[in-house]
Amino acid sequence: MSDRSDRAVQAFSGGLNCAQAVATAFAGDYGMDEAVVRKFACGFGGGLSHTGRTCGAVSGAVLVLGLALGTAVPGDREGKERCYALVREFLRRFGDRHGSVDCTALVGYDLSDPRGLEAARKAGVFSTRCTLYVRDAVEILEDILKDS
């Protein structure tokens, strides 16, 4: 594990959601206040607010890719496409490693159903599976950022 992935896992274990943990691990690299990044990432945890959609660790990584390599210039199609290509690369790598980028498939529970969410909590999937997803999202993201 890298130092950054260790910090992300500790942040996740300490109460941040998966998206917050991944995004916050990179905040300082881009001059961003960690509290602001945590607020931006808050709704992405649990597969988009416990809807079971895109994994929050994946969403946090996408936020970082936009921050690191996205464009703020209206009409900058080339800059936008470059960022999109790197997001697709991240999705491919994460999906290849884990078989999906969707929360429900990754955790094995439907978090949009209160009974499914409670069962996932009782089974400990957030501390077992999700910790792995946070770590891997950070490490894949580090590789992509290093190469771009």
pLDDT tens readout for residues 100-139: 999 999 999 999 999 999 999 999 999 999 999 999 999 9
Nearest to 73 by CA among 63, 61, 87, 83: 83
The total of other beta-carbon atoms located within 10 Å of residue 115's CB is 9
pLDDT band at 1 (very low <50, low <70, confident <90, very high): low
Angle between helix axes 18-27 and 3-13 (nearest 10 degrees) is 140
The rounded mean pLDDT for the chain is 96
**Which DSSP symbol is given to 100?**
-
Q: How confident is the model at residue 148 (pLDDT cuts 50, 70, 90)?
A: confident
Sign of CA dihedral 108, 112, 113, 117: positive
The Cα 122–Cα 14 span in angstroms is 18
Pick from 54, 104, 82: nearest CA to 148: 82
**Where does the pLDDT of residue 3 fall: very low under 50, low under 70, confident under 90, or very high at 90 and above?**
very high
DSSP 102: B
Q: What is the rounded CA–CA span in Å between residue 74 and residue 23?
A: 24
Query: Does the global pTM surpass 0.85?
Result: yes
- The helix/strand/coil state of 54 is strand
